[in-house]
């Protein structure tokens, strides 16, 4: 039995450009092609869409724009201005002449810092999409009644979208599926651990959503295990449905042309760092048998605020690798595809992301190129690619192994001209189509179970009616 109408609640959905939109958009297309009516409550990348319009063929749009955050944006701007002013003041004032006034100022600054930290922790508790979540709940309830939804699928992050989906489903009296694209309470930003009370409250909200769900889907096996360890009742309802690559597998590169061309296309944020690679590259270039003219490393994309003392551009200055490393800003999809076509190795930086697999991992597997993956040995991504020929996985804590991997790449790509590319039979199991099939099976199971319950309830009502008694 399949659900007749699925109501999807997800902040990210096509035409949004965020990578988080791909999973739910692909699933919505898949369901619509199989005769399921799909209704989506989303911000749709803040694009102007009419209520009830088709955002993609067979998929009905219920747009809910993200509310304005004028007050929060003003506070963020004020915070940056005060920090800049304090920095200038510290530079202008000599150190060591604080006296009692300095101590008072330090105490005031400390109090202000604590108050500011407490305020932003409150604002960003769960995430800063809470106001959108409340509006999405109301919109989902109205849409559910209008289109006679039989099942809700809520996908996050942002995780407040999961709360919206759970609230809407309860009001509509229909089952819901909670889809975790990333961890929720288990996710910790490097350098910014959650406080005890914050984690405790998050766990309460997470448990409320998970326990009420007819099924839970996660892209991560580790996250599924953590959730099950906290709540054994989830064991029969949780399913690991990974992300995947879209389209077809690219033709494999058979010859490198005697060059080593490494490409990273993405965003440097969280713990993703290019420095282990740059360090190994610098060591490689010091070898007398290495020809720098045959090596190129391209770092393409946006970079979040750097936690280190200098940017990668500054780091390479005066080093040998400066001649072979180039930096490019974010590019169009066509430009990225052209760079991939010119590369011989695709670089995946997945450090400090133990619990989930970056979506780019699947694109790399299907890219027809050898893959260099830098991540911890015990993380989810390393487990995913273990045993796949054509993927070199190196733990960033072992620079010697990374140096050896770079020498091996140089020998095979430059000297021998023969790359190792993941085999199609190893890659096919990570297709988006297979992930959608698994999703479809979970939704069908939930719908069938709901239908059985309704049938049993109907028979019980009939058995208890006065006419049945006569």
The domains of the chain are located at 5-67+127-243+433-459, 260-428
**For the ranges 143-147, 231-235, 386-390, 466-470, which has the lowest average pLDDT?**
466-470
CATH code linked to domain 5-67+127-243+433-459: 3.40.50.2000
Is the pLDDT at 5 greater than 90? The verdict is yes
Is the pLDDT at 94 greater than 50? The verdict is no
| Mean pLDDT of the region 403-429 | 97
* Residue 323 CB neighbours (<10 A): 13
| Mean pLDDT of the region 136-159 | 97
Return mean pLDDT, the chain: 87
* pLDDT over 90, % of the chain: 71
Is the pLDDT at 357 greater than 70? The verdict is yes
Q: What's the confidence (pLDDT) of residue 199?
A: 87
Q: What's the confidence (pLDDT) of residue 269?
A: 74
Residue 211: what are its φ and ψ, rounded to 5°?
Answer: -70, -30
Q: What's the confidence (pLDDT) of residue 90?
A: 44
Is the pLDDT at 282 greater than 60? The verdict is yes
Select the more confidently predicted residue: 389 or 107. Answer: 389
Is the pLDDT at 251 greater than 50? The verdict is yes
Is the pLDDT at 142 greater than 90? The verdict is yes
Local confidence band at 457 (pLDDT 50, 70, 90 cut-offs): low
Is the pLDDT at 86 greater than 70? The verdict is no
Q: Among positive and negative, which fits the CA dihedral 245, 159, 216, 233?
A: positive
Q: What's the confidence (pLDDT) of residue 335?
A: 93
| Mean pLDDT of the region 275-289 | 97
Homologous superfamily of domain range 260-428: Glycogen Phosphorylase B; (3.40.50.2000)
- With vertex at residue 403, the alpha carbon angle to CA 401 and CA 404, rounded to the nearest 5 degrees, is 65
| Mean pLDDT of the region 214-226 | 97
Q: What's the confidence (pLDDT) of residue 461?
A: 60
Fold agreement (5-67+127-243+433-459, 260-428)? yes
Q: What's the confidence (pLDDT) of residue 187?
A: 77
Is the pLDDT at 375 greater than 90? The verdict is yes
Is the pLDDT at 456 greater than 80? The verdict is no
**For the ranges 18-22, 368-372, 413-417, which has the lowest average pLDDT?**
18-22
Q: What's the confidence (pLDDT) of residue 301?
A: 86
């Amino acid at each position: 039995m399949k659900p007749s109408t699925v109501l999807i609640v997800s902040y990210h959905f096509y035409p949004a450009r965020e990578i988080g939109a791909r999973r739910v958009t692909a699933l919505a297309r898949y369901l619509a092609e199989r005769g399921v009516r799909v209704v989506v409550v989303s911000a749709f990348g803040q694009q102007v869409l009419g209520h009830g319009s088709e955002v993609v063929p067979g998929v009905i749009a219920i747009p809910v724009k993200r509310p304005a955050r004028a007050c929060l944006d003003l506070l963020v701007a004020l915070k940056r201005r005060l920090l800049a002013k304090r920095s200038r003041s510290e530079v202008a004032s000599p150190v060591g002449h604080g006296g009692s006034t300095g101590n008072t100022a330090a105490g005031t600054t400390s109090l202000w810092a604590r108050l500011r930290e407490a305020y932003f922790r409150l604002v960003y508790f769960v995430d800063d999409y809470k106001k959108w979540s409340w509006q999405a709940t109301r919109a989902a309830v109205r849409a559910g009644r209008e289109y006679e939804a039989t099942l809700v699928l809520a996908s996050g992050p942002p995780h407040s979208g999961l709360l919206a989906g759970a609230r809407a489903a309860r009001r509509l009296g229909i089952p819901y599926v909670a889809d975790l694209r990333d961890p929720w309470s288990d996710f910790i930003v490097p350098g910014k651990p959650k406080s005890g009370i914050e984690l405790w409250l998050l766990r309460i909200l997470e448990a409320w959503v998970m326990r009420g769900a007819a099924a839970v889907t996660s892209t991560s096996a580790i996250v599924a295990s953590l959730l099950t360890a906290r709540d054994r009742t989830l064991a029969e309802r949780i399913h690991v449905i990974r992300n995947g690559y879209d389209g077809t597998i690219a033709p494999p590169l058979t010859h490198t042309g005697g060059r080593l061309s490494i490409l990273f296309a993405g965003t440097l944020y969280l713990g993703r760092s290019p420095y282990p690679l740059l360090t190994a590259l610098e060591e490689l270039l010091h070898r007398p048998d290495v020809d720098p003219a045959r090596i190129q490393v391209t770092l393409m994309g946006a970079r979040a605020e750097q936690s280190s003392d200098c940017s990668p551009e500054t780091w390479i200055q005066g080093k040998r690798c400066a001649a072979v490393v180039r930096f490019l800003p974010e590019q169009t999809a066509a430009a990225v595809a052209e760079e991939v076509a010119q590369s011989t190795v695709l670089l995946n930086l997945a450090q400090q992301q133990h619990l989930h697999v970056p979506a780019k991992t699947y694109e790399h597997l299907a890219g027809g190129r050898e893959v260099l993956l830098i991540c911890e040995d015990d993380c989810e991504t390393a487990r995913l690619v273990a045993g796949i020929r054509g993927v070199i996985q190196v733990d960033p804590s072992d620079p010697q192994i990374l140096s050896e991997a770079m020498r091996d790449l140089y020998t095979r790509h430059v000297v021998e001209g023969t790359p190792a590319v993941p085999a199609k039979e190893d890659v096919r199991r990570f297709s988006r189509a297979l992930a959608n099939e698994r999703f479809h099976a979970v939704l069908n199971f939930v719908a069938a179970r709901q239908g059985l319950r309704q049938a049993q309830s109907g028979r019980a009502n009939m058995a208890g009616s006065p006419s049945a008694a006569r």
